[in-house]
Amino acid sequence: MGAKSPGNLPSWVQTVHAMAAEPACHVRAICWTCDGHKDIDLQALAAKVDENYSLIDRRSPCRFTDGCEGWVRFMYLFGVYRHLESYERREIWAARDAGRNTDQRAIGQTRSTAC
Ligand SMILES: [Zn+2]
């Protein structure tokens, strides 16, 4: 059963410990709703979690801005920032968020037709 690791991500991002061992690796937590972000201290995080702990396919409620209902997602820097998530998980989140986004879009449409 070797199919557990997301195939679209390099081996050195699979766990926090692997990323901490890679001097060039930088990870950032980003909220796409309010644009809040912070760089993750991989050394400090690795000291707190077990060696199998992974940031892949994780997200957490935004705490950057009071009242923000967005999700914080993790990205790793490899030339540009790339998502720490599998294609499969991205589709699940997109489907799960679709209801909320549809509401926002409906409000936008009401506003634009009122102009
Ligand atoms: Zn936010």
pLDDT band for position 16 (cuts 50, 70, 90): very high
Q: For residues 101 and 80, which has the higher predicted lDDT (pLDDT)?
A: 80
Phi, psi of 32 (to 5 degrees): -85, -10
Q: Tens digit of pLDDT for each residue in 56-88? A: 999 999 999 999 999 999 999 888 889 999 989
| Whether residue 72 sits in one domain with residue 31 | yes
8 A C-beta contact, residue 58 and residue 71 = no
| Whether residue 21 sits in one domain with residue 70 | yes
Q: How far is the CA of 42 from the centre of ligand 1 (A)?
A: 22
| Whether residue 93 sits in one domain with residue 41 | no
Q: Which domain holds residue 95?
A: 86-115
| Whether residue 69 sits in one domain with residue 41 | yes
| Whether residue 69 sits in one domain with residue 47 | yes
Quick check: helix, strand or coil at residue 6? coil
Phi, psi of 75 (to 5 degrees): -130, 150
Q: How far is the CA of 30 from the centre of ligand 1 (A)?
A: 8
Q: How many domains does the chain have?
A: 2
Residue 8, pLDDT score: 76
Q: E strands of 8-98, at which residues?
A: 26-31, 37-40, 59-61, 71-78, 80-83
pLDDT at 112 over 70: no
pTM of the model: 0.73
Q: How far is the CA of 2 from the centre of ligand 1 (A)?
A: 35
